[in-house]
Amino acid sequence: MTAEPTGTLCLVLHAHLPFIRHPEHARFLEEDWLFEAISECYIPLLDVMHGWLRDNIDFRLTLTLSPTLCEMLADPMLQDRYVAHVDRLIRLSELEVERTRAADGTFHDCARLYLDHFTRARAVFVDEAKGDLPGAFAALQRTGKLEILTCAATHALLPLVLRPESRRAQIRLAVENYRRHFGRSPRGIWLPECGYLPGLDHDLQRAGLQYFFLDTHGVLFGSPRPKFGVFAPVQTPAGPAAFGRDVASSRQVWSAHEGYPGDPVYREFYRDLGYDAPEEHIRPFLHPDGVRRNVGLKYHRITGNVELHAKQPYDPAAARTRAGDHAEHFLTGRAQQARTIGAWLGRTPVIVAPYDAELFGHWWFEGPIFLDQIFRRLPQVAPDLRPVTPSEALLRQPGLQPVQPSLSTWGHRGYNEMWLNGANDWMYPHLHACEERMVELAHRFDNPGTIPWRALNQAARELLLAQASDWSFILSSGTAMPYAEKRVRTHLHRFRRLYEELVAGQVDTDHLAEVERQDNPFPELDYSVFRGDGA
Amino acid sequence: MSHDFVDVTRTPEPGPRPTPPSVADTDRGPALPDAWLPDTLVALVRDPHLLHAYWHLRDLAWTAPGGVTPLLRVFDLDAATSHDVPVLMGARKAYLDVRDNARFRVELGYRTSDHGFTAVLRSNVVQTPPTGPSGQVSADWTVSPEQFQRLLHPLDGGGPPRYDKAYPTS
């Protein structure tokens, strides 16, 4: 690697799931979202990073672990349920290894792959991490090669939060939550959905955050014109730096048609043993309602533009080779891009490549291999490209241009449409009314007794949970809609009841204890954060 | 290829399978009483050309003085112009066409017989984002139009980038 690179590469993964935890049910379907992500994304990512360290691979990775995700990963009940979940999958995989061996062997390698995969996931979770995945990531951060970002507390789309106090509460609580999980203050934040509105940088500055990320047009349409486009961070009016997303590196990974994950050799996500297996075989591994769903064992490859029944058997070795080829192609493209853009700009470009972390391993099964190969091949394929964390990128900048970014998100069409349309706009009058009342409560109650203090904190918790952008997104996308709607209504209903009890001076302690048991994230939460003062 | 139980030829699948219902699917949660909402008119930016406005009035009796139609008056604060959009009070929401890169306020009210306008509710001020690059160039950070055009090139048609993502992620 040369002393002065032709370009720097800032690879960012955003890991987030909404807070889903249902102690009132022995098993709950939507909790599987977390369990699948642990097995398929977070543990493979840990494994990849540990491999880089073991083999002295020089890497830099930036990773958001959203506060709700951290709260779930640190929750003992969910940890226990994850172990039970992965144990079921290990048992299913063992049966599948035997069954596929006894058959013609077409899927035997695949079945063994899953047995190894789930067995390894369990070993990392139970034996190595002792159930504490945030702690495992925190240890990697201490090497200086991983930089962990925070995110808004419950992933609220901040441009659609009405009260400034409520936006600040999302940010300030996130910073406090980060300190508890990672033992230091965060330097940067991933704004949920890259949602930015002018003025938000003041709230970030007050919370001590030094940088955040925007979609491409949030920087390019900023004012005045950014001299270096998205290839250098800009300084917002309040001070924090804003990094812009590079289109080319995003498109190569995101796109359904141009992107790597659509390669015919890769594993097909939608063809799953949960549907293919005879009912008597798969029933013990389904949820108690017996409805067929994906179980996570998938034996076919994408093949091409054919229907699911025409998909061909998956070849793990061929897919692994292709992931390495794609990593090399990605690096070659970035190196060429850096040379070209560097010549235009007259300075070393920063190429920011952010992705949803759950793409890697869940949707794109080979994604962790691709990531692994990026940093293993970088010294040979792109020796002039230097991987950096955002903090390192800022240190390397000779100066930041002052720019006011424009309102933007990284959602469909670049603005708020995905979270504000006919499918979900019913929730905003209620969300905003509760914001108003939460701010009112925060000012009305000063030094309350123990019971009102608990009720105030729980009211704040219910509002925060209702604000998650996940619910409005799900209502737009058409999957799991009843669950999302129920979550919003339930949290707002609980908020309203607590508000009325607080105002009346009569808190139902049994009800309070029950909702505290069910909705329990953020033990550090103090309702006074909704006063909006301080940082 | 032969194997012992995957008989997919009998059950062809046309495409991605929908997520089956969860255990909570028959229950969409408690009703949220409108009576709890304050009297309000709120404007939100959906995109550079569309605002969302919602309103709530506990007392709807004002709506028909002489049978007039309620209106949303959309004020373009930068151009000092306005336009009216007839609404049904019971709809309680509307999507409003606006221009990009401008500040707006919305009022809910009705026209008076003397061609005036009586506002019943007034919204917050919102600003739509621009749909293209700023016309301002910093003296300390000059950039030629040709160079900036090269930096804009990845945006194809000039708007936000589109990735046509294959996965239901945001």
Q: Residue A198 — φ and ψ, nearest 5°? A: -50, 135
Residues in chain B within 8 Å Cβ distance of A228: 151
pLDDT for position B165: 54
- Interface check A416 vs B, CB under 8 A: yes
* Strand boundaries in A3-121, DSSP class E: 7-15, 61-65
- Interface check B154 vs A, CB under 8 A: yes
Question: Any bridge partners for residue A351, and if so which?
Answer: A9
**Contacting residues for B71 by C-beta, under 8 A, at least 6 apart:** B84, B85, B86, B87, B108, B109, B110, B111, B117
Quick check: B169 and A356 CB within 8 A? yes
What is the pairing mode between strands A241-244 and A211-214? parallel
Confidence of residue B11 (pLDDT cuts 50, 70, 90): very low
From the candidates A104, A252, A400, A483, which should be mutated to test the interface with B, based on the most B CB atoms within 10 A? A483
Confidence of residue B163 (pLDDT cuts 50, 70, 90): low
Confidence of residue A255 (pLDDT cuts 50, 70, 90): confident
**Contacting residues for A23 by C-beta, under 8 A, at least 6 apart:** A77, A517, A518
- Give CA separation, A42 vs A16, A98, A113, A243, A362, in Å: 11, 28, 18, 25, 10
Confidence of residue B152 (pLDDT cuts 50, 70, 90): confident
- Interface check B139 vs A, CB under 8 A: no
Cis amide bond preceding B70, omega within 30: no
pLDDT tens track for A180-236: 999 999 999 999 999 999 999 999 999 999 999 999 999 999 999 999 999 999 999
pLDDT for position A534: 56
How many other C-beta atoms lie within 10 A of the C-beta of residue A500? Answer: 13
Residues of chain A above pLDDT 90, percent: 93
pLDDT for position B158: 57
Q: Which of A107, A247, A490 has the CB atom closest to B30's CB atom?
A: A490
| Averaged pLDDT for residues A310-316 | 97
Quick check: B5 and A248 CB within 8 A? no
Does position A1 have pLDDT exceeding 90, yes or no? no
In B, minimum Cα distance to A294 occurs at: B19
Confidence of residue A431 (pLDDT cuts 50, 70, 90): very high
Q: Which of B11, B18, B129 has the CB atom closest to A415's CB atom?
A: B129
pLDDT for position B166: 52
Confidence of residue A533 (pLDDT cuts 50, 70, 90): confident
Does position A121 have pLDDT exceeding 70, yes or no? yes
In B, minimum Cα distance to A291 occurs at: B20
Confidence of residue B151 (pLDDT cuts 50, 70, 90): confident
pLDDT tens track for A276-303: 998 999 999 999 999 999 999 999 999 9
Looking at this predicted complex, what is its ipTM? 0.95
pLDDT tens track for A320-375: 999 999 999 999 999 999 999 999 899 999 999 999 999 999 999 999 999 999 99
The 8-class DSSP code of residue A196 comes to B
In B, minimum Cα distance to A194 occurs at: B170
Does position B16 have pLDDT exceeding 50, yes or no? no
Quick check: A228 and B54 CB within 8 A? no
Q: Which residues 32-91 of B are in CB contact (within 8 Å) with A? A: 32-33, 36-38, 40, 42, 44-48, 52, 54, 56
Residue where the block lists tokens 């000779």:
A398
| B141 Cα to chain A: minimum distance (Å) | 6
| B32 Cα to chain A: minimum distance (Å) | 7
What positions of A carry a catalytic annotation? 193, 356
Q: Which residues 37-76 of A are in CB contact (within 8 Å) with B? A: none
| A145 Cα to chain B: minimum distance (Å) | 27
Confidence of residue B115 (pLDDT cuts 50, 70, 90): confident
pLDDT for position B12: 32
Quick check: B29 and A485 CB within 8 A? yes
Confidence of residue A3 (pLDDT cuts 50, 70, 90): low
Length of chain B equals: 170
Confidence of residue B156 (pLDDT cuts 50, 70, 90): low
Quick check: B3 and A106 CB within 8 A? yes
Q: Which of B18, B38, B44 has the CB atom closest to A433's CB atom?
A: B38
pLDDT tens track for B58-68: 876 555 566 77
| Averaged pLDDT for residues A516-528 | 97
pLDDT for position A254: 80
Residues in chain A within 8 Å Cβ distance of B167: 261, 356, 359, 363-364
Element (H, E) at B40: strand B40-47
Asked whether the whole model's pTM tops 0.90, one would answer yes
Rounded to whole angstroms, how far apart are CA atoms B156 and B150? Answer: 11
Q: Which of B18, B47, B92 has the CB atom closest to A416's CB atom?
A: B47
Mean of all residue pLDDT scores within chain A = 96
Residues in chain A within 8 Å Cβ distance of B125: none
Residue where the block lists tokens 């009102």:
A452
The C-alpha torsion from B44 through B31 and A487 to B165, rounded to 10°, is -50
